[in-house]
Structures are given as structure tokens and as C-alpha cells.
A and B are shown apart, each in its own frame.
Chain A
Amino acid sequence: MVRVRYFGLLRLDIKRSFDEIEAENVEFLIKIISSKYNIDVDEIKNTIIFVNGKNINQLNGFRTKLYDCDEVQIFSPVAGG
């Protein structure tokens, strides 16, 4: 199971902070989240995604493989301090 933590606007929209989901890669994980919360796949693809603390753009993008106990964090871009 992959541990998924939601942050930012997505978390407010789906009213959920945490899930445990079985998924072999980020692409597949996004599809599951999309169907679970009835959100467009592209909307989730347009978030900032970290796998075990690393941005997927520094890994293998949406094809980044996921393993048991991995932690995925999903964010929206932010500014204004």
C-alpha cells in the first residue's frame, strides 16, 4: 500500500488528508484518486507530486514506480508570505 497525503486546495476540495492506495506507479495512482473522488485526471496531473520527499520531475515523472510503504505527497502551487 502507498500512503498518500493531500495538501493545499486539493485537500480542501476532496475533504480528505490521507489515503492508503495500491498502485504500481504515479500514473496509476492518479487514475485511482481521480475515480475515487470524481476529479478529472488532468487536474491531478497538474499538481506538484512528491514521492518519498522527491518531486516526481526529479524522478521518472508520472512513470515513477511506487512500492509498498512509499509516501506520496500531493500539493498545489503556493505563494504569498
Chain B
Amino acid sequence: MATIYGGYTGRVLKIDLSLKKIEEYPWSDKERELYIGGKIMAAKILYDNIDEKTKALSPDNYLVITTGPLTGTGAPSSSRFNISTISPLTNLLTSSNCGGSFGLYLKKAGYDGIVITGRAENPIWIEITDEEVLFHDAKDIWGLKTSETQSVLGDKCGRLVIGPAGENLVKYASAFSEERAAGRAGVGAVMGYKNIKAIVARGNHTVNVHDKENLKNLYKDWVKKLKEHPITGNQLPRLGTAGLLSMMNARKMLATRNFKYGQYKDFEKISGEYLAEKYLIKNKGCLTCPIQCGRVVEVDGKQVKGPELETLGLLGANIENNSLEHIIRWNYVLDELGMDTVSVAGTIAFAMELNEKGLWDCGLEFGKIDNIEKTFEDIAYRRGIGNFLAEGTKALSKMFGGEEFAINSKGLELAAYEPRGAVGQGLGYAVSNRGGCHLNGGYLVVLEGLALSMDAYTKKSKASLTILFQNLMEVASACGSCLFTTYLFIPKYLLIHPNSILTKLFLWFLKNSAFFVNIINKLPGRFLKFNIPNLPHILALKYVTGFNMNFGTFKEIGERGYNLERMVNIKRGINSKDDTLPKRLTQEYQDSTDKRTIVPVEDLKMKYYKIRGWDKNGIPLEKKIKKLKVFGG
């Protein structure tokens, strides 16, 4: 359906693999205004097309690949795309966001998104150009690893591929575009089930924008701001996300020994500093990104992507491995096999503890690393214990017990932040729409000890701030922007002067900010008609699309998106009891002498529901849904 707005191609491709049918998915300008793109657009498509019985690994599941309106317009750090589907790991909605170039090329092919349903009879790869959509036999590339597959498919195109893990339906298999992964919750397994080895997009379509002149100046200023900000202009380019690990250890937030502890004695050996000193060849990043947070290291004489923070923490401290060299190699091996480093590491740590407690004699032990690489292969090809591990932590706990230390939320393994050292992050993990995800959870840990030193243990204001951050990150992601661009929201002064009186006052205010933050959270967008220069996404959306955009509208789109994703999960049968964490994190003190060191998840979540306008069961109230126009109107 053609559009009057800039930033969009105006077309969404629908492919029914079972019927071999190609058509346009109806998507109106009204829907573009309400749901923007990316994960929010995908959530609406999923809500409209799946029901409570749709199985993740069935022809009925929908795989929805979407871009945002800023993608392809030259916006800094905005080449991303999103994949949403019903996850085989959680049986709920997942949205998995990815860098790489596939999103840009999809727009060049003339599409804002792809909606895939059904299942191909035999393995195929799909070629999408601005002229046609072709199904190719994939028998010659089935079985290849992710980089081999991409090599065969050629260059000057966007490639989205799976590896052996996706083919073998590992529940946390990922999809890859170049070296970047749509990592979490098994989108690669859904591709594998549908017999899609790869999707290739190419073309010459260009994206129109509404106000070219103003946009050019805004983008110039946006790049300048990113380059001048201490996080995006200095820390991330020089240390990458790996630079967080040492600070997390100091703050007792580094998941260690299957989240039993928050500190690891050998943290320095797996730190970002050590990576930069001993292994870093150069930094690298996505197209259109001035941050360049990626690490380039060497494995087997090849220059490859270095590990991110989550991988360092979870394949390091959390399994008590202090060999950075091994983590670098494993990161490469896992990318090649095509699976999520977070979930595989979390599952292995859980298996180690099951073994230690005599619940499952699987041969995996904390600190023992000689069998890890083979275990990855066994998982990807579902051999031996790998066949069990491929099901993820929650499924393992149902088979062997140990639910109280099965570190997941809603079936998704937690990231590397130990939430008993950052209780707001704990709330985020528990209520996040996609399960134990730090980002979808609101990433409050950034205030609770990484960028800022807010009281990490207090319950005060945590629910309010979590909601604000979740909503803003939701809409920034839907724009097509990397979430790292939202760090501009943290004033530079606070980062440059962490010990000043003003910063201390601000941190005190933050702790007591619930009343003010809730005004923003609760007020309808029409009462917040102002702009925030440190969130350039707002004006960028206005100049790109021509939407009437201000902070209020922007925030409201995020809130609508978060509630819509929640409604998909409500449809799938979740309620308050699912918004939780394993007992280790809610009942076992991290430090037995300090009663603050558990996540008070029940208290926090009730506050969270109330502010969100959800009932005690965690279900959004009808009046909230109507007010936010969650389903349109």
C-alpha cells in the first residue's frame, strides 16, 4: 500500500511458503503513524495473525522481519532491522534486533518488511529484488556454517542466514547478517523449521524523506553529539561493550558460577581492558554508525568479530573460566554454528550446577573447559547431551530439577548482569516482554552502577524509571536505531563529573524521582509537546516521515508498543506469575550479611503494574488499551 510518508517504501512483502504465494501485506498509513516500524510494527502483525495455540515450530507461526523509517535515510547508527516471531524457547513473543546490512538492502529491494508464514517443503533460500521474489533450492548450502553460507550468496546484497543450529532447531538458534546476530530466543530455529536457509535482498530503490534540508543538519549534529559523548564517542569505540565487565565486578553485578555470586576472582583476565591490550586488532561497526563498538580479533589466522560483554561474562565468570583466548575462539565457533552465546552459556552453567548437585551426570563442570567446544558442536547437531542442552535452561529444569537455580525468566536465559546487585535490572528481567532480557527490561543497570552510581539496592523509583526507559527504548528501536544512541539521554556532565556535588544531588533526585517520572509516564502525549535535543530520534522521525512528532507522541508510541507486545503474550496465556525470577535471585541473599541483596520482585512488580495501568494479574486494563490505541482506532 503506497504511503504519503517519507522513510517508507510503502510495501510489506508477504510470503506463504506452504502455498508458494507472494503478495503484499496490507499496511496502511494509519498503522505507520501508530506503530512506526521495527518491533512495534511486527508486534501488531503478530497480534493480528497468531493465537493462543499457534506453535512456534509450526507452519502457522509468523516470522516478521521489519525495518524502521530511519533505516536507509543515512541516520547514524540506524541500519538495524528486527525479527519478531513466537519463540520456540519461550513460546511467547520475541523480538530480536540486528545490525549488519540486511535492513538497508531490504529497503533497497523496495520493502519495509517481510511477513513469512507456512513452511517450505524442502530447504530453500529466498531472493528478494526490486523486480521479483525467487525461491531457490538450498540443498547445496544446507549444512554450511554462517560465514560459508554468506560467502556462497555473494556480495552487494543483504544476507540473512542460519547455521547448523538453526537447521537442527536448537531452541536458541540465531540468524546472522554479516557478523551481526539477531541473537535471542530462537529466531534462527523458526527459520530452520520453515526450511529457510537464507534470505537475500538487493535492489536500487531509494527512500524518500519529508524534509531533506533539516534532516541533513540534524544528522550532522547527531553524529557530532555521538562522537562527543563519553560513552558513544570514547568508551564504546575504545573498549566496546567488553569495557563494562570490570565495573560490573566492582559493583557485584557480574554473574558468576551460575549467578551464585556477583564477583569473579579472575575477572581481570576476561576483561575488556585485557581484550584491548592483548587481542584487539581494531574496532569496527555497522554501516552508518559513528560509534564502531565492535571488536576485531584473530582466530585461526582469520580476523573475526570479538566477544561482547555478555559473552565474556557468561562464558567466563559464569562458568568460572578465566581463559580469554578460549572465549574469543568459542564466540567465533558459536557464531559459525549460528546460536545465541547468552542462552547457550546460561544453559551450560545451569547444567554444570545440575551435575555438581548430582541431578544430571552430564560431564560439565565449573572451571573445566576442555569439553566446552565439543559441547557446542553437540548442541548444534543435537548429539548426546547436546540434544538436551539444545532445549534451553527452563526445559532442562523440567527434566532434571533445579528450578530454583535455573536462571531464566519466561524461559529466556538472563544476560550477564547479576540482578541482586542491581534490583531495578532485576525487575526489568522479570517483566520484560521477551523474558530475561536486559534491554527489553529497561536496562536500569546503566543508572544503578555502570554509567551512574544510583543506589542499586533501593526499590525507590525503580518501577517508574524502568517504565520510562522501556518505553523510550521501545520506540527508539522501532525507528531502526541502535539502542546505544539513547545514551545521549544521559547528560554528559554526570558522566564527566561523577563525584561532583551536582551529580550527587542528581543521583539523590533520581532515587526520589518517582513522582516526576510518573507524570511523564502517565500524562497523555498531547500534554508533553516539547522536544528533547538529546533524543534526536524525535526530530529525525519528524523530518524523515512528516509525522507530527514531539516527545509526547514519541513516548506514547513506545508505550503503545510495549503494551502491544504484552498483549501478544497475554494472548499466549501469561500473567503475573510469569513475571518472576528463579528463587536464587529472589530468596537467596547474594551477601548473607546484607539483607538488601535480593531482588524484591513481588513488591517492585506490583508498583510497576499500577503505574503501567495493568491489573494485579499483570493484564493491561481495557481503558489503558483504548487510551493508547494499542489496537488502532
Report if B589 contacts A (CB, 8 A).
Answer: no
Q: Which residues of A contact B250 (CB under 8 A)?
A: 7, 50, 53, 73, 75
Distance between Cα atoms of A61 and B496 in the complex (Å): 17
Supposing A17-B273, A45-B499 touch, asked if A81 and B309 sit within 8 A by C-beta, the answer is yes
Closest to A61 in B: B499
Closest to B487 in A: A79
Report if B42 contacts A (CB, 8 A).
Answer: no
Report if A34 contacts B (CB, 8 A).
Answer: no
Q: Is chain A's binding surface mostly helix, strand, loop or mixed?
A: mixed
Distance between Cα atoms of A55 and B451 in the complex (Å): 14
A8 touches B453 (CB 8 A): no
Question: In the complex, which range does the number of interface residues on chain A fall in?
Answer: 20 to 34
A8 touches B235 (CB 8 A): yes
A78 touches B247 (CB 8 A): yes
Which residues of A from 2 to 35 have beta carbons under 8 Å from B? 5, 7-9, 11-12, 17
Supposing A8-B246, A17-B268 touch, asked if A78 and B498 sit within 8 A by C-beta, the answer is no
Which residues of B from 188 to 232 have beta carbons under 8 Å from A? 230-231
Q: Is chain B's binding surface mostly helix, strand, loop or mixed?
A: helix
A-B pair count, CB < 8 Å, reads: 99
Report if A41 contacts B (CB, 8 A).
Answer: no
Report if B234 contacts A (CB, 8 A).
Answer: yes
Closest to A45 in B: B499
B239 touches A81 (CB 8 A): no
State how many angstroms separate the Cβ of A13 from the closest Cβ of chain B: 10
Distance between Cα atoms of A71 and B254 in the complex (Å): 19
Report if A60 contacts B (CB, 8 A).
Answer: no
Q: Which of A12, A45, A80, A81 contacts B273 (CB 8 A)?
A: A12
Closest to B416 in A: A81
Chain A interface residues (CB < 8 Å from chain B): 5, 7-9, 11-12, 17, 45-50, 53, 55-57, 61-62, 73, 75-81
A-B contact pairs, 9 of them (CB 8 A): A7-B250, A12-B238, A17-B273, A53-B250, A78-B247, A79-B487, A80-B231, A80-B235, A80-B309
Chain B interface residues (CB < 8 Å from chain A): 230-231, 234-236, 238-241, 243-244, 246-247, 250, 268, 271, 273, 276-277, 293, 308-310, 415-417, 438-439, 443, 445-446, 450-453, 484, 487, 490, 495-499, 504
8 A-B pairs with the lowest CB-CB distances in the bound complex, closest first: A79-B451, A7-B246, A77-B495, A79-B231, A78-B244, A77-B451, A81-B309, A79-B446
Given A12-B276, A75-B250, 15 more pairs with CB closer than 8 A: A8-B239, A9-B239, A46-B496, A46-B498, A56-B499, A62-B499, A75-B247, A78-B239, A78-B451, A79-B231, A79-B236, A80-B241, A80-B293, A80-B484, A81-B416
